[in-house]
Copies of this chain bind each other. A is one copy, B any other.
C-alpha cells in the first residue's frame, strides 16, 4: 500500500536508509538527516508486514505506523539527489523484512538509484566512549572510498553476519545492481545512542557532500553521555550493592 504525495523525478539519486535497530542509531541518524536537510516526503508505505499499530500524538491525533520516503535535491556541484527512507519499524517477520526491503528497492531503483547507504548501530556489549564507524559494503571500491572517510573495516567487527534491514538492503540491493555501504556506529547496545548516530552522520555528511548541523543531536548526545558516565562509575566501583544493581537495570 504505497501512498504517493508527489511523483518526483530525481537525477541519479542515492538511497539512504535508517530504520529502528540496535541503539536506534540508524533511525536517529536518518530522521536527523531528513529534518536537517528539510527533505520532502513523497511516498508513505503502509503494510500488513508492519505491526497493527497507530501512534497518538499529544493532541490525540493518530498516525498509522509506516515507512516514509523523502527526497532531497542536490544544491551544489558535488552533491547528489537523495532518497531518504525512515520508518517506525522493520518488518514484523523475516518474510516481511524481505518484502518491505524489496518494495523500497524497487521504488528507488525505478527512480534511478544505483547507490545506497544504510545506517545502523553495532552493539559492542560495553560502553563506547568514542564510537568508531564500522563498515560493510558490496564492492572493494566502496570499501576503499569509505576508508578514506575514516570508516573502519576490521577483521573482527562485525564478525559474521548482519541481521535486519541495514544488511538486507545491501544484499538485495545487489540484485538490483545497486552498490551499497552500511555504516555502523559503535554503541553499547544498552540505550538509545545519539552519540553513535552523530559519528555515523559525520561520515555520511562527508560521503554525500552535505553539511549536517549536528547541534541538536549533540545536546541529546550530552544527556546520554551523562547517563553513560553514571553507568561507567558504577561499573568501576569495587562491589556494587544490590540497590546499585537495581539502578543499573533501571537505566538499561
Question: Which of B49, B153, B163 is A95 in contact with, Cβ under 8 Å?
Answer: B49
Interface of A is mostly: mixed
CB-based contact A62/B162 at 8 Å: yes
Once A62-B162, A158-B56, A162-B62 are accepted as A-B contacts, the answer to whether A51 and B136 lie under 8 Å apart by CB is: no
CB-based contact B63/A171 at 8 Å: yes
Identical copies in the complex? 4
CB<8 Å pairs between A and B, sample of 27: A46-B175, A47-B98, A48-B98, A52-B94, A52-B98, A52-B101, A52-B164, A53-B161, A53-B163, A53-B171, A54-B136, A54-B161, A54-B167, A54-B168, A54-B170, A54-B171, A55-B160, A56-B162, A61-B143, A62-B137, A62-B138, A64-B168, A64-B172, A64-B174, A65-B171, A92-B94, A95-B96
List the interface of chain A (C-beta within 8 A of B).
Answer: 1, 3, 46-56, 58-65, 91-99, 101-102, 135-140, 143, 153, 155, 158, 160-165, 167-168, 170-172, 174-175, 182
